[in-house]
Structure 1
Amino acid sequence: MSYLSLHVSDCRNCYKCIRHCPVKSINFSDGQANIMEDECILCGTCYIICPQHAKTIRKDTDRVREWMKTHRVVASLAPSFIAKFPYTNRNTMYEALAKLGFSDVSETAEGATVIAAEYDALLASGEQDVVISTCCHSANLLVQKYFPHLLKYMAKRLSPMQTHAKMMKEKDPDAKVVFIGPCIAKKEEAEQYPDIVDAVLTFEELEEWMEEEDVSPVILPDERLKGRARLFPIPGGIIRSMKADQPGVSYMAIDGAEQCIKALRDLENGALKNCFIEMSICEGSCAGGPVMGEQRYSQVRNRVQVESFSGPEHWKIDSPVSNALYKTMNWIKVDQQTPDEEEIKRILAHIGKTKPEDELNCGSCGYNTCRSKALAVYRGKADLSMCMPFLKEKAESFSNLVTKNTPNGIIVADEQLNIQMMNPTARHWFSVAKEEDIRTMRLNQLTEVDEYIEAMLTGRVISGRKSFDSYGITAEQNVVYDENFRAVIIILRDITGAESERSAREQLTQQTLEITDQVINKQMRIVQEIASLLGETTAETKIALSQLQERLRDE
């Protein structure tokens, strides 16, 4: 089931989502980016950074509304709400959620309190010399899909969301439990482990629902003791919620996908031992989640908000028995074929990379290296056309080939009419020996420039005949002004030969008419003389010869 989807018409081929995806789980084909669900870890990075807002999160609000017609629906509210809604408190949010139709609301931090104690107990048991927290489902998916050999280090305990849902269902077995938080991956976690959490709403969905129902949080007194587990959504918050007092164990907090991947590689290389790793895919932990909106970028403010909302002591909570908090974590196979070196070289050659120095590793395609891009092409995740330097070089080569070999003259000038480029044909016409000589030339050295200025002022294409008298050139001219590049482009077709032929034809015609006039006039005189001797009229003959003379002139 898709948790993240794409508006196809909105994707603009910028490759930004590929560049930022920590596991490159995006397929690019037919000019569109597509999320590969079997490889995705649902971190939401593509959702955050897409400049076209082409990614959308599956909404479950309508499903929850339907349940409210037939069931009691209770909410588990993530502790990061205080960073998302900074001018609220626990009672404020409880009141707002009650207006939406929730029968009961309590804090997910209650489940976090139980899990913090579970982590302490796991470390004390000595079962694992390395323990990785399992609160972040995206981090869990990262290990399950890309580091399955490290699954033995996972804590294998329910997340605070799941633990709290169990607690709420023990209290109200027939209720539907809805988790509300800053995370996309929690939607998948709820469905991967069914019958615990019934639905997940993001803070974004909650905001939209409140706006639709015209519900605005109203500040109310909050007398509840500030629990220590409210620290969970900030970096180091899990460790600070634990006793974290096991001798010989190093406690470390890792946030951000890149740092998590580096830590896992260190672990597989044997560089980490006897440690507890608090792992969160989002930078800034849950308070920096993908649906925190603008608040996700305010890590310092988020930390202040969360810390001011937490306290030094844990709440007194009756926790479920430990064996009810265990969860299985299996390897999720990602099918990724690996080509041999010859195949990689063949793919690289298709994009003009036949030598090591051709591999620029510029990252414009979204992949860190040219070889990573070639691997993605082999796996069907990328197109050859995604290599920007290659396409640019290819386009320039093609353009240069056409410009160099066309029989037409091409001149490019800037807005000050300084000549920037002349193709070989134009340089030959205007007696420019070397390409570098162009740099000091202006258009007014070649001809009058009125039509070039007109093209710039009007933006219209100016067409017509143009004589370059000093160079003996007559041309059909098209003048185009490119506003983006602020350049005047002049395309000239040499019609000097055709003009000479036309002039010669006109001269011959004129000479023929003059001779014809002389012949006709002479014949008229002869006819008149004969008619005079015979005593007859010449009117009809005169009319016929005059009509012949006019017809010849018209032709």
Structure 2
Amino acid sequence: MDRRSPVFTEEAECQDCYKCLRACPVQAISVAGGHAQIRPEACIACGRCVVACPPKAKRIRDDLADVRELFAKGPVIASLAPSWVAEFPDLTPGCMIAGLRALGFAAVSETAVGARAVSVAVAELRSAQPQRLWLSTACPSAVDFVRKHRPALLPALTPLASPALTHARMLQTLRPGAQVVLISPCVAKKRESEEHPDLLAAALSFADVRRWWNEAGIVPATLPEVEGFFLPGPGDAALYPVEGGMLTGIRRLGQPGDTGLAACSGITELDHALAGLAPEDGAMFVETLACPGGCVNGPGMTPGGFVLRRRAAVLAAPQPIGRELPPEVSTALAWPGLSAAAEAIDERTLAAALARTGKRTREDEPNCGGCGYDTCRDFARALVAGRAEPSQCVTWMRRLAQRKANALLSAMPAAAVLVGADMRLIECNAIFARLAGGDERCVAGASITDLLPFSRLFRHVLDGHGDILERDVRLGGRVLHGSVFAVEPGQVVGAVLADVTEPAMGRAQVASRAKEAIEKHLATVQRIAYLLGENAAETEGLLSQIVDAYEPEPGDGGR
């Protein structure tokens, strides 16, 4: 576990549900020992896994301690992302500034001031090179997606710094020696601060600030308002947090009727939109945002908010333009590649990997996505690369459990059957089928009422009248000693039936032996029922335990 990565896994909390793997748009999560781990070389820090993880095992790195230490070294300025109005709708700008100043920040400035400079630079770039495809570089997660996973489009990235880095350059020009800390809803900004520590000393999420206020006992809404952000107002650059917001300012700076502007949010949607494009294609500028809907849907926002409501809050916020121009700073920045492309896998190796989960023909590949990969072949490639385990394949593990359960039922020396709440057969062994009239009658879905004259015993247990019911019953000319028991109360019942009709043995002795056998087989049938509906990842171990229990003791002759 790498706790220094912007996003990491708390292994003790991981429940092996693979939901994070399914949520990751670049499949930057591997599975080892049943636990999902993030692969830093492929991760773009979009934070989708953090949002998707039910037990909160995927976590955002806590940088509060590092920021507190900065205050002892000199003045620290907060660069506040414009999405703050959606995260803190109950705070006025004056209260927001007061709350951050109370934490120790020497000044508070809006990141969108840097965004305004970036918009101007984009307009100039498009004017100088109009017949090119350009991809925005405001979102570090979208930039890393191109750098790591679509390196052919690397030349299409605008050679411009993000608004946060540009803003930091402005602040350091005005306050030499000051440290800049970004406050935003973005996880990827933590990585951006690592790559450019000379500009951004650290990056905090809105959740970090809320927690800091709570720990310090600060209630910003009750503080006297502090007027005015440091540096002039950003105007419509404050719309950067919503999809299409960046384009608003660029249109204002460009030519009327410009049709070469497009916006795309969400990595999966961005991937589809960029498919087949090359840097030399068309006169087009694409605003790229990793989070669906824009930064207002970032992982650092408080969970449970409505994206449209957040968007409306950003659009409704005042957008003043400062009378004084901010200092002119360079917006230039180069983007080196960080390719995380996987090595090519030949067809024979791929086929061998598919066979490990029982897939030998195309018809064997359901592409259900239960493993976390879009297709069975993507999963097989991950198996070859050592990033996945066969137990992730739900269909394979279920099929394996069914086969082993069937084999175990068949090997039992007593009749065994599982029945559902609808009084229909779920599973049975061959001995039960012979007792109940043959294989052709004992198929899944057959009515137990049609098979056995004492089906009322099953209904009795299903209706909750006891967890187990033992009876001697007659079936044709045979006497059976049986136990009907609850597997899932009210949903599934099982039964073990032993034939005690043998004339050579006294009735009491037969019943005693039958009871011993039933006690042994009872647990087996219960566990088989459990296996047929249990987490596939646990199936192999449980079945092995059951099989071991049926191994003959040394010297018993295997009877």
Indicate the SS of the match to 1:294. Answer: coil
Partner of 2:400: 394
1:484-495 aligned at under 5 Å gives the runs 486-495=491-500
Matches within 5 A, 1:351-366: 351-366=357-372
Q: 2:504 aligns with which of 500, 504, 508?
A: 500
Q: 1:320 aligns with which of 314, 328, 349?
A: 328
1:183 aligned onto 2:190: no
Q: Output aligned runs, 1:258-297, within 5 Å.
A: 258-268=268-278, 272-294=281-303
Instruction: Write the deviation string for residues 292-331 of structure 1: whole angstroms up to 9, x where unpaired.
Output: 1236x52322222112214375664233333xx2212111
Q: Deviations over 1:515-535 (max 9, x none)?
A: xxxxxxxxxxxxxxxxxxxxx
Question: How far apart are the structure 2 equivalents of 1:124 and 1:164?
Answer: 23
Secondary structure, in 3 states, of the residue corresponding to 1:161? helix
Q: Structure 1 CA distance, aligned partners of 2:458 and 2:150? A: 68
1:406 partnered with 2:409: no
Change (3 A) 1:176 1:417: same
Alignment correspondent of 1:350: 356
- Name 1:512's counterpart in structure 2: none
In the other structure, the counterpart of 2:91 is 88
**Structure 1 residues not aligned, in runs of 5+:** 507-555
Give the drift of 1:191.
1.0
Once structures 1 and 2 are overlaid, which stretch shifts more, 155-164 or 309-318? 309-318
What secondary structure is seen at the aligned counterpart in 2 of 1:413? strand
1:378 paired to 2:381: no
SS at match of 1:457: coil
Residues 321 and 427 (structure 1 numbering): CA distance in 2 closer, same or farther, change over 3 Å?
closer
> Contact 1:244–1:251 at 8 Å: present in 2 too?
no
Counterpart AA for 2:317 = F
Per-residue displacement from partner, 1:60-79 (whole Å, max 9, x unpaired)? 11121222234222111000
Instruction: Verify: 1:106 aligned to 2:109, yes or no.
Output: yes
- CA distance 1:348–1:254, shift in 2 (3 Å): same
Aligned partners of 2:385, 2:449: CA distance in 1, in Å? 53
Partner Cα separation in structure 2 for residue 400 and residue 122 of structure 1: 68
Name which one, 1 or 2, has greater alpha-carbon Rg: 1
Note the alpha carbon deviations across 1:99-136, whole angstroms, 9 max, x for none: 11111111111111111111112122228722211110
SS in 2 for 1:412: strand
Give the 5 Å matches for 1:208-223: 208-218=211-221, 220=225
Question: Secondary structure at the residue paired with 1:354?
Answer: coil
Question: In the alignment, is the contact (CA less than 8 A) between 2:457 and 2:469 conserved in 1?
Answer: no
Give matches, 1:109-258, under 5 Å: 109-126=112-129, 129-218=132-221, 220=225, 227-242=235-250, 243-246=252-255, 250-258=260-268
- Change in 2 beyond 3 A, CA 1:413/1:143: closer
Deviation (angstroms), 1:375: 0.9
Q: Which letter maps to 1:301?
A: R
CA 377–441 in structure 1, closer or farther in 2 if over 3 Å, else same: closer
Alignment equivalent of 2:70, drawn from 63, 67, 70: 67
Aligned partner letter, 1:468: R
Trace 1:293-312 onto structure 2 (pairs within 5 A).
293-294=302-303, 298-311=306-319
Q: Secondary structure at the match of 1:435?
A: coil
Cα distance between partner residues in 1 of 2:219 and 2:43: 35
For the structure 1 residues 459 and 387, does the alpha-carbon distance in structure 2 shift closer, same or farther, using more than 3 Å as the test?
A: farther
Question: For residues 170 and 263 of structure 2, what CA distance do their matches in structure 1 show?
Answer: 27
TM-fit CA distance, 1:237:
1.1
- For residues 380-407 of structure 1, the C-alpha deviation after alignment (integer angstroms, 9 at most, x for no partner) is 1111121111221221122223323433
Secondary structure of residue in 2 paired with 1:195: coil
Aligned partners of 1:113 and 1:315 also within 8 Å: no
User: Are 2:18 and 1:15 equivalent residues in the alignment?
Assistant: yes
Cα offset, 1:443, TM superposition: 8.8
Aligned-residue offset at 1:415: 5.0
Please, what TM-score do these two structures have when normalized by structure 1? 0.82
Q: Which residue of 2 aligns with 1:333?
A: 339
Q: Quick one: which amino acid aligns to residue 446 of structure 2?
A: R
Amino acid paired to 2:236: R
CA distance in 2, matches of 1:58, 1:420: 48
Alignment match, 1:528: none
Change (3 A) 1:451 1:51: closer
Residues 456 and 481 in structure 1, CA contact (< 8 A), matched pair in contact too: no
- Evaluate the alpha carbon distance shift between residue 231 and residue 445 of structure 1 in structure 2; reply closer, same or farther with a 3 A threshold: closer
Go from structure 1 to structure 2 and tell me whether the alpha carbon gap of 1:48 and 1:440 turns closer, same or farther (over 3 Å shift).
Answer: closer
Contact 2:46 2:141 in 1 (8 A): yes
Q: Distance in 2 between matches of 1:409 and 1:357?
A: 35
2:491 pairs with 1:481: no
SS of aligned partner of 2:504: helix
CA 1:194–1:459 in structure 2 vs 1: closer, same or farther (change >3 Å)? farther
Residue 504 of structure 1 and its aligned partner are, at CA, apart by: 11
Cα shift at 1:444: 10
Matched AA of 2:352: R
Residues 418 and 443, structure 1, Cα contact 8 Å, conserved in 2: no
Q: 2: CA distance between counterparts of 1:190 and 1:420?
A: 58
Following superposition, the deviation at residue 239 of structure 1 comes to 1.4
For the pair 1:435 / 2:441, whether they are aligned, the reply is yes
Percent of residue pairs bearing the same amino acid type:
31
Structure-2 change in CA distance of 1:451 and 1:142 (3 Å): closer
**Aligned equivalent of 2:79, options 70, 76, 80:** 76
The answer (yes or no) to whether the contact 1:413–1:443 under 8 Å persists in 2 is: no
CA distance in 1, matches of 2:122, 2:212: 36
What amino acid does structure 1 have at the position aligned with 2:290? I
Secondary structure of 1:71's partner? coil
Letter of the structure 1 residue corresponding to residue 303 of structure 2? E
User: Which whole-Å deviations, capped at 9, do the CAs of 1:22-63 have from their partners, x for residues lacking one?
Assistant: 110000121110000010000001011112211111111112
Query: TM-score scaled by structure 2?
Result: 0.82
Alignment correspondent of 2:519: none
55-64 or 8-17, which deviates more: 8-17
CA distance in 1, matches of 2:463, 2:349: 51
Q: Secondary structure at the match of 2:446?
A: helix
Q: Distance in 2 between matches of 1:418 and 1:197?
A: 66
Report the aligned-residue RMSD.
2.9
Going from structure 1 to structure 2, the CA distance change for 1:259 and 1:481 (only over 3 Å counts) comes to same
Partner of 1:51: 54
Tell me the CA shift for residue 264 of structure 1: 2.6
Unaligned runs of 5+ in 2: 511-559
Structure 1 partner of 2:464? 457
Return closer, same or farther for 1:286/1:241 CA change in 2, 3 Å cut-off. same
* Corresponding residue SS for 2:339: coil
Alpha-carbon separation, structure 2, partners of 1:194 and 1:70: 15
Distance 1:448 1:253 in 2: 64
C-alpha displacement of 1:94: 0.2
Shift of 1:474: 3.8
CA 1:319/1:60 → structure 2, altered by over 3 Å: closer, same or farther? same
